[in-house]
Amino acid sequence: HAGSIGPARQLARALEIDGPARMLDVGGGTGAFAITLCKAFPELTATVVDFPNVASLGRTYVEAAGLSDRITYADGDALEKGWPGGQDIVLMSYLFSGVPGETHEDLIGRAYDTLAPGGHFMLHDFVVDAERTGPKLAALWQLQHTAFTPTARSLDDAWLADALGGAGFEDVSVRPMIPGMTMLAMGRRPN
């Protein structure tokens, strides 16, 4: 939870959310991103999809933040569970590094289908450059994740941009978020 607060604050500073918005945080863990973004944007509501044991812990963080009326949990495996549609934002942070690589394209496609027209997809994770020359910390984190998920894919910025574009997203960008370690990929579902 504590390790996600910093990146969540960075994301909040980079976003512009005017008015009511619905966010789906897929694999959102204890809700660090949802809590931080809901605090930054008073009209944002969020649903976090994660395993029941994680959701139980997350609810305690949400309650302590005083946001139980704006952040809810949908207990279940994000790879198998249905997601609520009509979202303005779909966020996946640190999800791709912990799931099998063959699920990535499906997750991007499901995010597209879950978004309302004009909605935004954001993917934050350990990502290396397409040339695979760095950043070294991102590569080390990716390697560490293979100990738990041997079928995890090493993400690179060019693959992410192509995958988002191939799924139909527009205004695709991939840029550093935590310098030397993570990147943020973004795309918008056309109106």
Write down the pLDDT at residue 172.
98
Each residue of 4-55: pLDDT tens digit? 898 999 999 989 998 999 999 999 999 999 999 999 999 999 999 999 999 9
Write down the pLDDT at residue 132.
78
- 134 versus 111: the higher-pLDDT residue is 111
User: How far is the CA of 5 from the CAs of 10, 56, 67, 77, 109, in angstroms?
Assistant: 9, 19, 16, 23, 27
Write down the pLDDT at residue 50.
97
What pLDDT band is residue 150 in, cutting at 50, 70 and 90? confident
Asked whether residue 157 carries a pLDDT value surpassing 70, the answer given is yes
Write down the pLDDT at residue 143.
67
What pLDDT band is residue 185 in, cutting at 50, 70 and 90? very high
Based on the number of CB atoms within 10 Å of its own CB, is 125 exposed (0-12), middle (13-18) or buried (19 or more)? buried
User: How far is the CA of 79 from the CAs of 45, 64, 122, 152, in angstroms?
Assistant: 22, 28, 17, 14
Q: How far apart are CA 148 and CA 44, in angstroms?
A: 34
The answer to whether the pTM exceeds 0.95 is no
Asked whether residue 144 carries a pLDDT value surpassing 70, the answer given is no
